[in-house]
Amino acid sequence: MIRDQETVNILLDTISRFVRERLVPQEAHVAETDQIPQELVDEMKELGLFGLSIPEEYGGMGLTMEEEVLATFEIGKTSPCFRSLFATNNGIGAQGIVIDGTPEQKRHYLPKLASGEIIGAFALTEPDSGSDAASLRTSARRDSDFYVLNGTKRYITNAPEAGIFTVMARTTPDSRGAQGISAFIVERGTPGLALGPIDKKMGQKGAHICDVIFEDCRVPAANLIGGREEVGFKTAMKVLDKGRINIAAVCVGVAERMLDDALRYAMERKQFGKPIAEFQLIQAMLADSKAEIYAARSMVIDAARRRDDGLDVGTEAACAKLFASEMCGRVADRAVQIFGGAGYLAEYGIERFYRDVRLFRIFEGTTQIQQLVIARNMIRAQAD
């Protein structure tokens, strides 16, 4: 749902110009140093990028889902690490509070997230529970006005920079599966919270992950999201539905950037006396990429509109994330092929995108988990 087309167009133009003029020129530098310059972070804050989807009453832009994915298409046309820094504040790092937080939790944390004063992180995955998230072992034991958390979370995006963590922990020790899981807001610096070393990754340099470790970490009971136990897994799934649409959207944006680069190269690079873009086998790769990007973009917009209409989009979000992330990988592979030997060199940047986009098929639910979600929802609907 687009509320005011003119306002949205201004926002999209502003983001597109920022991406083109400020972020794209810094891609190689960030990849080499594994750090986003602070001046760029400050500019992201000034543009309001940390609060795109946070309600206006808390200092954000309050974009609808459709407006947000349109913005994400533009943000995706540069290195994914830039989006990763502020996307958790609009997605998994804040949406638990936006969706299910108490009024007090919203008033206290959302303005800080919207301004970029603090960065949020989502702590669900553990060393022994990734795709099987419901088997998590991190425990939360009530002790007077506190909960005492113990456990380890793994692969937590933005953990090194995070000011707060949305943490899923088991408040009912004997429970199994999704039952007994609650969600907590844990602030950086809380005694008993420690961070592991920053992990070295295949790609997405500039975006950081590490373990988050809880050892008798005392969290105020007031930080139980929603003030209720045993509904944390439901909160997590609602957060992930929205997150999957956003991941699908960034896949579209990155794929569009890679295709633009590949087309430009194909028109400039000559073999046998003419641009390689004139060869039919090159044209086939360009055409297949264009068609798949168009299909993924259409899926993302449809899923976003359905969510704006208040519909359950669990299946559509999974479909969009599955198709768009796989599509993005295929476009990356074709782009490297079109570049040929140059595509294997760091000088051209396409090899960096090739590594960067591989993650999209893994995080916030692997392709195989999306397949299970889709099929199980189909079976459930047929049985009803």
Residues with catalytic annotation? 364
Task: Report the alpha-carbon distance of residue 30 to residue 149 in Å, rounded.
Answer: 35
Q: Give the span between the Cα atoms of 94 and 264, in whole angstroms.
A: 39
Task: Please name the helix (run of DSSP H) or strand (run of DSSP E) that holds residue 227, with its range, or none.
Answer: none
Q: Which residues contact 217 (CB under 8 A, 6 or more apart)?
A: 148, 149, 150, 186, 190, 191, 192, 193
Pull the structure tokens for residue 75: 């943000």
**CB-based contact 126:191 (threshold 8 Å):** no
- 5 phi-psi bin (left φ>0, alpha ψ -120 to 50, beta other): alpha
Exposed, middle or buried by CB within 10 Å (0-12, 13-18, 19+), for 216?
A: exposed
| Residues in contact with 138: Cβ distance below 8 Å, sequence separation at least 6, in sequence order | 126, 149, 150, 151, 152, 153, 167, 168, 169, 170, 214
Cα torsion 327, 329, 331, 332 to 10°: value is 160
The kind and range of the H/E element at 156 are strand 146-157
Cα dist from 33 to 28, 36, 148, 274, 283, whole Å: 9, 8, 38, 38, 36
241, two tokens: 């539905």
Longest dimension (CA), the chain: 79
Sign of torsion, CA 61 325 256 29? positive
Cα–Cα distances (Å) from 270 to 172, 277, 278, 328, in that order, read: 66, 9, 9, 26
